[in-house]
Structures are given as C-alpha cells and as structure tokens.
Structure 1
Amino acid sequence: MPWFRTHPEYLPVLGRTSDSMESPTATLADEPPSAKLVFKVLEHHDSLTQEQLAEETMLPRRTVRFALSRLDEAGLLDEQVSFRDARQSVYSLSSEGERVRSRNE
C-alpha cells in the first residue's frame, strides 16, 4: 500500500494529493499528447537528443522540451550528457519508463 494512503497526515506538508501520486501508468495517461508521443518515440529508439526527438515527432523544439520536462517529472526518463557534444543531453526511458512500456505492450 502506498505511503500516502497509510499516512495521509503528510499530504498537507508535501502539498500533494493522492490523486497526483498514482501509478506511472496513470501518470502517463494524464500527460499531454506531446509527452505521450515523445514517450512512444523513445520506446522505439535507445536514446535521442532533443533535436532528434523534434525531427522524429515533427513537433517544435519548445513542445519537445515541455514534453521531456513532464516525462522527467513523472520519473519516466533518464538524461545523460552527450559524448559528442557536452552541450546536449541524450534522453532514454528510465527503468520506470521501461516498466510502463512493458505494461502497455
């Protein structure tokens, strides 16, 4: 049982409700379409930069950046510094993202 169900007294301190702390699948279901699309593209690629994601999804870079931030907040992404260009990051699914992926297959 999740801690927020057994200790609801902590919720006001943290400023969160139990509705916002559901399972990762529910979290992905609540994400905007752009985040779902970026997640789907990352399911089929090992890792991509923001620029590559923008090319693959045909979304503006700003929208991809927003989608990445939402997926990162949900704990579904891993971000690594690119070996080719240290100014860029490479994104891939985290272990939690892989679990969500396997549930959706």
Structure 2
Amino acid sequence: MSATTEKSTSDTPMSDPEFRDRLRELPPSAKLVATVLDGSSPLSQGQLAEESLLPDRTVRYALNRLEEEDLVESRYSFHDARKQVYFLAN
C-alpha cells in the first residue's frame, strides 16, 4: 500500500488549504453547511437544514454563497429526481 495510490480520509476538500482560505471569507452559516457536507454528503437542502439545525432559508443562502465560490456542486437525487443534492467540490 503506497501513499500515492491510496486516498486518505484526510484528502477531503476541507483539508485543502486553498479551499479553506476561500471558505474563511464566507458567513458562519456557509462554514457550518460545508462542515456538515464534509462529514456526510450528498445531502438535500432539507437534510442539510436538519443536520445543521439551521432554518431552510439560511441553508439556501449558505448554499448560494458556497456555489458562488465554486465550493459546492449539486446534482439531481437518484432517489427523487425532483430534489437536488449537494456535495463539496473537489
């Protein structure tokens, strides 16, 4: 097992210094949403609200800010095509 072929659990976007520098300038709600997504993703907006204990409106604002900075990406859910799920950009 070489370190170059195995992906470490610390190789998440949150461990990237550039990612963290861009995140540092964002509001606390965006930082919390990013932290929740780092722990378990992809998640829907409703799931993010539930996990972060933030109101839906605040989660939407945080996701918009994260998307503006290209820190979060989204796709349609495989389980429910009416919903989008979010995950940290690599």
RMSD value, Cα:
1.1
Residue 59 of structure 2: aligned partner: 64
8 A contact 1:37–1:57 mirrored in 2: yes
8 A contact 1:72–1:78 mirrored in 2: yes
- Runs of 4+ displaced beyond 3 Å: none
State the TM-score, normalizing by the size of structure 1: 0.65
Which residue of 18, 34, 42 maps to 2:37? 42
Give the counterpart letter for 1:66 in structure 2. Y
- 1:79 pairs with 2:74: yes
Number of equivalences: 73
The one-character-per-residue Cα deviations of 1:21-51 (angstroms, maximum 9, x if unpaired) are xx54332111000000000001100310000
The one-character-per-residue Cα deviations of 1:41-72 (angstroms, maximum 9, x if unpaired) are 01100310000000000100000000001001
Give the counterpart letter for 1:50 in structure 2. Q
5+ residue gaps in structure 1? 1-22, 96-105
* Identity among equivalent pairs (%): 51
Whole-Å separation in 2 of the counterparts to 1:43 and 1:25 = 12
Which one has the bigger helix percentage? 1
Using the TM superposition, give the Cα deviation of residue 86 of structure 1 relative to its aligned residue in structure 2, in angstroms. Answer: 1.5
